[in-house]
Structure 1
Amino acid sequence: MKLSATLGGETYSFRDLKEVMAKANEEKSGDRLAGVAAETVQERIAAKTVLSELLLEDIRNHPLIAPEEDEVSRIIEEDINERVYEEIKRWSVAELREYILHLSTGHRELMRISRGLTSEMIAAVTKIMSNLDLVHAANKIEIITTCNISIGQQGTLASRLQPNHPTDNVDGMIASLKDGLSYGIGDAVIGINPVDDSVESVKRLLHATHDFIREWQIPTQNCVLAHVTTQMKAIQQGAPADMIFQSIAGTEKANRSFGISAELIAEAQQVAKKHGTGTGPQGLYFETGQGSELSAEAHHGLDQVTLESRNYGFARRYDPFIVNTVVGFIGPEYLYNSKQVIRAGLEDHFMGKMHGIPMGVDICYTNHIKADQNDMEDLGVLLSAAGVNFIIATPMGDDCMLNYQSMSYHDVATLRSTMSKLPSPEYLTWLENMGIYENGRLGPNAGKIELFNR
């Protein structure tokens, strides 16, 4: 395994695969904070050169975190299809990139190839792709999943309606919910982040959203994003939840800091199947984001793109209905400015899709990061072009409970119109029946929350 490259008469040598992977990353403040980033642009280019020439079997044969020490590594390793791996193990990372980009359509073949790829291989090819490469490649992949309805079809853009409230006031949430529905938002999920993480609070919010969905016969899913154990207790006590949510990470140690394990997620999957109100085969919702492992001091010296890819290797085991990265939420310590947020959003979306994951993005930023709403709109356009499964929307793009900026209901409607995207088919039919959509566009009742007053 060659770990050096000569550029402009200077030779750059790297200790091991971990250092090559980290220094081949595009600039990220989190990698700088962790002390693993390239010192210069030239060193980054040299690391990309070395990485591009490594074989896929080199990456598998030199695990960044030993499976004996980490259950995420074990899951990634155990889930590899050995027959597919044997076909491609002698490919270089550069050859994998060319293969992905040159497929004329690619969905079936990319999904076949992905079964022979570890998360580290997918991270490696991501590091030598441009932003346009990431858009072009991800757009070839169609991941359709089903809970109460199906989302992810080519030509659609689903959305999570996020009607959070700073005191968990049901009337306030329902008002926000009505507003979002009136703009066609909510086919991926009506998902609430609770202030009060108690079982009784979660039960109350699940009942409120479930009752509203049932009253208006809305073809969607509900979820309250409390800790997985709290949701399980609420569901086992009779609360109507269509899916179970949990934030996940790319190492066992980081997952432990979240209070979860592979065993617990498997248990939640069974609870969703046995007691959940969702009717489809998928009943889990995962959330990720670059930098969480470093926050937990559980990154093992790895860069944040590689760690994020490992999230999706972990998620793939459990066949989730939806996954989203909350890009830009943690803050400038990990993604310093809009350029880094945009790059991370495109990386995460592509890596998730290459794992066969139904990938969405919360296009967002905190008020202390060097970004603004125009930057988020730019990323929204790029991700829509890349075929993102869903994005998250909040009232006026301002989450009054979590105190961060996201996309608004109006933004999603505008992206759909501009990019010729539609809501998911079953949801579109309901919107048309309500007069909110007409001929594939917002109709005469769009924006009229009084539709839901009776």
Structure 2
Amino acid sequence: MPIYTYTLGSERHVFDDLKTLLACASPRRSGDELAGIAASTDERRVAARLALAEVPLRAFLDDVLIPYESDEVTRLILDTHDAAAFAPVASLTVGEFREWLLSYPVEAETLTRVAPGLTPEMVAAVSKLMRNQDLIAVAAKCRVVTAFRTTIGLEGRLSSRLQPNHPTDDPAGIAASTLDGLLFGIGDAVIGINPATDNLPACMKLMDMLDAIRQRYDIPTQSCVLTHVTTSIAAIEQGAPLDLVFQSVAGTEAANKGFGVTIAMLHEAREAALSMKRGTVGDHVMYLETGQGSALSAGAHHGVDQQTVEVRAYAVCRAVRPLLVNTVVGFIGPEYLYDSKQIIRAGLEDHFCGKLLGLPMGVDVCYTNHAEADQDDMDSLMLLLGQAGVNFVIGVPGADDIMLNYQSLSYHDIVSLRHLLHRQPAPEFQAWLERMDMLDSRGRLPPPTAPALNRLLTAGGIG
């Protein structure tokens, strides 16, 4: 196992292995400091980045961070590596790879072709050398398109998840929040509920309700109850109207065991959902969620820095061809991302790394109330991600999720972002808004009005 060194000024910095080098090269992060693996000084952090820039990309195929024999995520990464796709960048160092990604000739088609040849560790490594502007510039060149009842990720589009959570899963409260979101044109990525009660009968009741709303209004979208993958499989077996299978995943086998999931279970769930044949314009049936710090909080990070472990989770996602992936960037808490600076950086990293690996990446632009962040910071991250071409973001009523007790984006925020950046929802959903006479003469969605609500209710047979 090689030892990495770099002399900065008069001091020679030694990094015992690639795992240590990656951790020390990371931007400052409270989770890495909590784990005792962060660079002890800013000077050491700079030395680590300079040393990392000289590491060949091939090194990540030989010097694995978590042993192949003891971790199924490592096995997945190496066993599915596409050597032919890797060939165009195989001779590059991490620093040269950064320059290649930022170069003018490298566009979406090239990045799509090379994605199967990139490992999460390569992508995590190059992100550590990039400024925020670099992360945005490269991510904006990536194009990942998926489809079920709507087509997500097309150029000039910005999709959204409508998240009508309720602390007691009250159907009337959920329905009211859903109709509110639809008036704002939210929900083209998915109408997704985090259930307060994670048992099969309760989840099936929510699935039935969401599907009834979708059919009543003839909405071209997909619904999802974000229950455990095993509950989703059981619901399919009982004939529930399930569109998407959801699961939170992490970047190590041990962390995924903490979630009660294996890669084989995800494949089983995907096959079960495909058997329902509920998609109309595509067959992407998985919705996966990640977040920096989950492996560390489970004591299952193997000494790997939290951002690199996060990107390893994207290999798990990539294996099951998801419709949607999102990082809940500030949800896990200030123990892992302390303040707005760290949250914003992590959101841009996660989006960049996911897109570069070929994932349909979204972000829950969020924070917990005990973090050093506020809604102004979320505005900044939302705008940066919009410029970076994020596939979708998440909206909750008033930006305040009263069930999960954290702060996200509001329906209003997403409408404002679409107007500002001249983005439309998914084309099938946009056509529905036009049929509902909810768009103005310029094809934009104006603020909801009483007539618009009446039209929506009348269309659903309620008015």
TM-score range normalised by the length of the shorter chain = over 0.9
Q: Take 1:40 and 1:248, find their aligned partners in 2: how far apart are those partners?
A: 32
Q: CA deviation at 1:86?
A: 3.9
Which residue number in structure 1 is paired with residue 19 of structure 2?
Answer: 18
Residue pair 2:88, 2:114 contacting (<8 A) in 1 also: no
Moved more, 407-416 or 144-153: 144-153
Write out aligned runs for 1:265-276 (5 A): 265-275=266-276
Aligned pairs for 1:253-402 within 5 A: 253-275=254-276, 277-279=278-280, 280-402=282-404
Q: Which moved more, 1:343-352 or 1:416-425?
A: 416-425
Give the corresponding residue for 1:78. Answer: 79
Pair 1:205 & 2:206 matched: yes
Q: Distance in 2 between matches of 1:449 and 1:220?
A: 19
Q: Say whether the 8 Å CA contact 1:282–1:319 is kept in structure 2.
A: yes
CA distance in 2, matches of 1:171, 1:452: 16
Contact 1:250/1:307 (<8 A) preserved: yes
Change (3 A) 1:390 1:444: closer
- Counterpart-to-counterpart distance in 1, 2:23 and 2:447: 52
Q: Deviations over 1:95-118 (max 9, x none)?
A: 111111114461111121222111
Do structure 1's residue 452 and structure 2's residue 456 form an aligned pair?
Answer: yes
C-alpha RMSD of the superposition: 1.3
Deviates more, 1:388-397 or 1:422-431: 422-431
Partner of 2:435: 433
Equivalent residue pairs, number:
454
- Equivalent AA in structure 2 for residue 225 of structure 1: L
The answer to whether the 8 Å contact 1:332/1:368 transfers is yes
State the 4+ residue runs in structure 1 displaced beyond 6 angstroms: none
Q: Does 1:442 align with 2:445?
A: yes
Q: How far is 1:84 from its partner? A: 2.8
CA contact (8 A) 1:437 1:446 kept: no
State whether residues 7 and 47 of structure 2, in contact with CA within 8 Å, keep that contact through their aligned partners in structure 1.
yes
Task: Map 1:186-201 onto structure 2 (within 5 A).
Answer: 186-201=187-202
50-59 vs 381-390, greater mean Cα deviation: 50-59
Whole-angstrom CA distance in 1 between matches of 2:175 and 2:423:
27
**Contact 2:184 2:447 survives alignment (8 Å):** no
1:189-241, Cα deviation, whole Å (9 max, x unpaired)? 00000011111111100010101101111110000001111111112111101
SS for the counterpart of 1:90 is coil
User: What percentage of aligned pairs have identical amino acids?
Assistant: 50
The unaligned stretches of length 5 or more in structure 2 are none
Does residue 1:148 correspond to 2:152, yes or no?
no
With normalisation by structure 1, the TM-score equals: 0.98
TM-score of the superposition, structure 2-length normalised? 0.96
Gaps of 5+ in 1: none
Q: Which digits, 9 at most, give the CA deviation of each residue in 1:357-392, with x for residues without a partner? A: 000000000000000000001000000000000000
AA in 2 matched with 1:55: P
Partner amino acid, structure 1, of 2:358: G
C-alpha contact 2:3 2:15 (8 A) present in aligned 1: no
Name the aligned partner's letter for residue 73 of structure 1: T
Distance 1:444 1:6, change over 3 A: closer
The more displaced of 404-413 and 437-446 is: 437-446
The answer (yes or no) to whether the contact 1:241–1:278 under 8 Å persists in 2 is no
Aligned partner of residue 324 in structure 1, secondary structure? strand
Q: How does 1:41-190 map to 2 (within 5 A)?
A: 41-104=42-105, 106-190=107-191
> For residues 446 and 251 of structure 1, do their structure 2 counterparts lie closer, same or farther at Cα, with a shift above 3 Å needed?
farther
Q: Give the drift of 1:259.
A: 0.3
Displacement of 1:2 in angstroms is: 6.2
Question: Is the 8 Å Cα contact of residues 13 and 44 (structure 2) preserved in structure 1?
Answer: yes
Tell me how far 1:449 sits from its aligned partner: 3.5
Secondary structure, counterpart of 2:51 in structure 1? helix
Measure the CA separation in 2 of the matches of 1:76 and 1:443.
Answer: 46
SS in 2 for 1:68: helix
Work out the CA distance in 1 between the residues paired with 2:447 and 2:421.
21
**Other structure's SS at 2:247 match:** strand
Shift of 1:242: 0.9
